[in-house]
Amino acid sequence: MSDLPNFVSINEEGPREGFQIEPGPISTADKIKLINALSETGLKNIQACSFVNPRLVPGWADAEAVVEGFTAAEGIKYTGLYFNGNGLDRAMKYQGKLTLSGSISLTASEGFTKKNLNRSHAENVAAMKRQASLHLDNKINVNRIGIMAAFGCNYQGDITPEVVINTLKDGMTIAEETGSEITVFSLADTMGWAAPHRIERVIGEVRSQWPEMEISLHLHDTRGLAVANAYAGLKMGIRSFDTTVGGLGGCPFAGQPKAAGNICTEELVLLCEELGIETGVDLDALIEVGRLAEDIVGHQLPGELIHAGSLDAFRRNIEQ
Amino acid sequence: MSDLPNFVSINEEGPREGFQIEPGPISTADKIKLINALSETGLKNIQACSFVNPRLVPGWADAEAVVEGFTAAEGIKYTGLYFNGNGLDRAMKYQGKLTLSGSISLTASEGFTKKNLNRSHAENVAAMKRQASLHLDNKINVNRIGIMAAFGCNYQGDITPEVVINTLKDGMTIAEETGSEITVFSLADTMGWAAPHRIERVIGEVRSQWPEMEISLHLHDTRGLAVANAYAGLKMGIRSFDTTVGGLGGCPFAGQPKAAGNICTEELVLLCEELGIETGVDLDALIEVGRLAEDIVGHQLPGELIHAGSLDAFRRNIEQ
């Protein structure tokens, strides 16, 4: 297990992922409360909101009010998600409080691109080129290529590592043509098709093409394998993960409204702690935020630690 | 990944584990329905009931009626759980329909032994010696040593591999003294303290003492790490697991009534299938039984595939 990293960086996406899919309206005040609570756990990266079309994602119609309302803590990078120039304009009004950086977002599945974005892959490449230029024109770095459905797709089935590589190459071409300096590839298991060997193969093949590139994993627990997949990633030295507190979330466009959300932040932190990997996160504080998230959404969340508690809490009790 | 087994044998414990913890009374008819449905999935080992004291586990007061009621399918081993001579007497009435074999059950945590059995470890060793002799007197094999809390304990904290080894040695002494021929060690993560490296260390140390012994894992998903732990076990060549359909269950004596149950059968089967390991189980049929189990208990079960469906179901749809 010599490739395990010493430190894992967690990008908490609970507020953004979680509140886009909940059927009940979540109040602006509750969203702010969750972000403020997350800011007290040691997390250093929090995706706070989504500047998407309110007609498509009504749960984020109050993005501006949320950003205005939460209290930015020092040392934490707060980000917002957006997909187009209009979203960028909205986000730029909060530059400073939000850390803005651009991403070239492509999908390894043409089927999902059509379903999710109503575009062909070629149209998406053109759109992402415009989007990257728009960022650079506004003096905002574009340092990341994100690949959705990198391990499989409900609409297209298994995705080979070759397709992921080709999609990344398309992203790198956009980067070259626009002058974007890419430092991170984010590979997303958007619909829960990954299994540990698939994680190993894709990461292995991406690494052999781009040995120096940082790879970040965005895992969904749709079929219960997210933690095993994260473990496979950790063993390959992956040190950056997107997660959601309590396992909030799910993909509203993947055709499975009741499916589980992202890998749960608490479970990844527990796994890391037990493996001796630092995360900087206070797990017991985070579990309390998971409980708050469960109260806010008003139904049981998939995160198991909300109900079981951390191992360290038991260890401390036993020592006393 | 060369140590991955070609075939994994699954011991389905959903009926027994699941119905001992559910607060609402589950009807005898529903228990029988679940066992009959499981018999159609390709599973070859089903723990159908528990002959325990009905005052302690009222959910299994109808064990006899369940055994009489289900339809035994050819080629499936149905078993019952019991802890003492009285339970053995009850089980022996159904010898033939039930496959009986004895187990020397010890616990790596003295704290849990006291809490769960109200005995010291020494008293438990003496009781297990009597129990093994009782089996052999009745011409029933004793081929298994089971170790509860082999990876940690809510009442005692971390359990070192050394303690597991010593507990197994106590079991082997019982086996020698009674003339039991042990072929399997079952290591149970009764309260969800295992993490992948802990699985690796304990299995590694047990193997170095007893290289020829088959090791079986009984994992709980109390803190969400069960599938990652199973993956670590598979990579060490473990080819026998206890599981529960839908993730039914939980340990009623571990002090965490809302904690998740055993590793979910569907998730282990999916993991194996994706890794190219055969289980003999029809995953889509099994998912339907998970849905039936959810209907029977009347609340959402932790198994994710109940809601997301299998990957093969998507693959077939896409091919058409």
- Predicted confidence at residue A196, as pLDDT, reads 98
DSSP B152: -
Cβ of A158 within 8 Å of Cβ of B259? The answer is: no
- Give mean pLDDT, residues B27-41: 97
Q: Residue B231 belongs to what H/E stretch?
A: helix B226-235
- Work out the end-to-end distance of chain A between its first and last CA atoms, rounded to an integer number of angstroms: 33
Between these two residues, A26 and B18, which has the higher pLDDT value?
Answer: A26
Q: Looking at domain B1-100+244-250+264-320, which CATH architecture does it have?
A: Alpha-Beta Barrel (3.20)
- List pLDDT tens digits, range B75-88: 999 999 998 999 99
User: Does A57 have pLDDT greater than 90?
Assistant: no
Cβ of A157 within 8 Å of Cβ of B259? The answer is: no
Give the Cα separation of B312 and B288 in Å (integer): 14
Does B193 reach chain A within 8 Å, measured CB to CB?
A: yes
User: Does A148 have pLDDT greater than 80?
Assistant: yes
Number of A to B CB contacts under 8 A, please give it: 132
Cβ of A303 within 8 Å of Cβ of B258? The answer is: no
Q: Residue A206 belongs to what H/E stretch?
A: helix A196-209
Residues 6+ apart with CB under 8 A from A61: A54
What is the pLDDT confidence band of residue B18, given thresholds at 50, 70 and 90? confident
Angle (CA) A226-B293-B99 rounded to 5° is 100
Among A residues 264-303, those touching chain B with beta carbons less than 8 Å apart: 264, 266-267, 270-271, 274-275, 300, 302-303
- Give mean pLDDT, residues A140-167: 97
- Give mean pLDDT, residues B3-22: 91
- Predicted confidence at residue B1, as pLDDT, reads 46
User: Does B187 have pLDDT greater than 60?
Assistant: yes
Distance from CA of A282 to the nearest CA of B (A): 16
User: Does B253 have pLDDT greater than 60?
Assistant: no
Least-confidence region, from A21-25, A85-89, B205-209, B263-267 = A21-25
Least-confidence region, from A33-37, A300-304, B255-259 = B255-259
| Structure-token pair, residue B232 | 């670590």
Among B residues 169-188, those touching chain A with beta carbons less than 8 Å apart: none
What is the pLDDT confidence band of residue A6, given thresholds at 50, 70 and 90? very high
User: Does A252 have pLDDT greater than 60?
Assistant: no
What is the pLDDT confidence band of residue B255, given thresholds at 50, 70 and 90? low
Domain ranges, ordered by start, for chain B: 1-100+244-250+264-320, 101-239
| Structure-token pair, residue B11 | 């011991």
User: Does A260 have pLDDT greater than 90?
Assistant: no
Which residue numbers of A are catalytic? 251
- Give mean pLDDT, residues B88-113: 96
- Give mean pLDDT, residues B193-209: 97
Question: Partners of A49 in the beta sheet?
Answer: A80
- Predicted confidence at residue B21, as pLDDT, reads 76
- Predicted confidence at residue A23, as pLDDT, reads 75
User: Does A256 have pLDDT greater than 90?
Assistant: no
The one-letter amino acid code at B40 reads E
- Give mean pLDDT, residues B274-290: 98
Residues 6+ apart with CB under 8 A from A293: A14, A18, A34, A245, A246, A248, A301
- Predicted confidence at residue A2, as pLDDT, reads 59
> Whose CA is closest to B248, among B259, B234, B237?
B259
User: Does A255 have pLDDT greater than 80?
Assistant: no
- Is B251 one of the catalytic residues? yes
User: Does A257 have pLDDT greater than 70?
Assistant: no
Does B222 reach chain A within 8 Å, measured CB to CB?
A: yes
Distance from CA of A155 to the nearest CA of B (A): 7
Give the Cα separation of A153 and B289 in Å (integer): 25
| Secondary structure tally for chain B: helices H, strands E | 13, 8
- Predicted confidence at residue A66, as pLDDT, reads 98
> Whose CA is closest to B172, among B134, B123, B209?
B209
Report domain B101-239's class: alpha beta
Report domain A1-100+244-320's class: alpha beta
- Predicted confidence at residue A250, as pLDDT, reads 67
Place of tokens 């209907």: B295
Q: Are B50 and B22 in contact (CB under 8 A)?
A: no
Averaged pLDDT of chain B: 94
Cβ of B256 within 8 Å of Cβ of A158? The answer is: no
- List pLDDT tens digits, range A82-121: 989 999 999 999 999 999 999 999 999 999 999 888 899 9
Residue from B219, B314, B316 to probe the interface with A (highest A Cβ count within 10 Å): B314
Between these two residues, A254 and B124, which has the higher pLDDT value?
Answer: B124
What is the pLDDT confidence band of residue A1, given thresholds at 50, 70 and 90? very low
Residue from B225, B262, B300 to probe the interface with A (highest A Cβ count within 10 Å): B225
Does B108 reach chain A within 8 Å, measured CB to CB?
A: no
Distance from CA of B157 to the nearest CA of A (A): 5
Cβ of B309 within 8 Å of Cβ of A256? The answer is: yes
Give the Cα separation of A174 and A171 in Å (integer): 5
**A102-236 adopts what CATH topology?**
TIM Barrel (3.20.20)
The one-letter amino acid code at B136 reads L
Cβ of B318 within 8 Å of Cβ of A224? The answer is: no
- List pLDDT tens digits, range B128-145: 999 999 999 999 999 999
Cβ of A192 within 8 Å of Cβ of B308? The answer is: yes
Q: Which residues of A touch B318 (CB under 8 A)?
A: 155-157
Cβ of B152 within 8 Å of Cβ of A311? The answer is: yes
Residue A309: closest CA among chain B residues belongs to which residue? Answer: B223
Topology match between the domains B1-100+244-250+264-320 and B101-239: yes
Catalytic pick from B49, B251, B264, B272?
A: B251
| Structure-token pair, residue A217 | 């994993």
User: Whats the size of chain A, residue-wise?
Assistant: 320
| Structure-token pair, residue A271 | 């796994």
DSSP B179: T
Residues 6+ apart with CB under 8 A from A122: none
Q: What percent of chain A has pLDDT over 70?
A: 97
- Predicted confidence at residue B96, as pLDDT, reads 95
The half-sphere exposure of B270 on its side-chain side, counting CA atoms within 13 A, is: 36
Q: What percent of chain A has pLDDT over 90?
A: 85
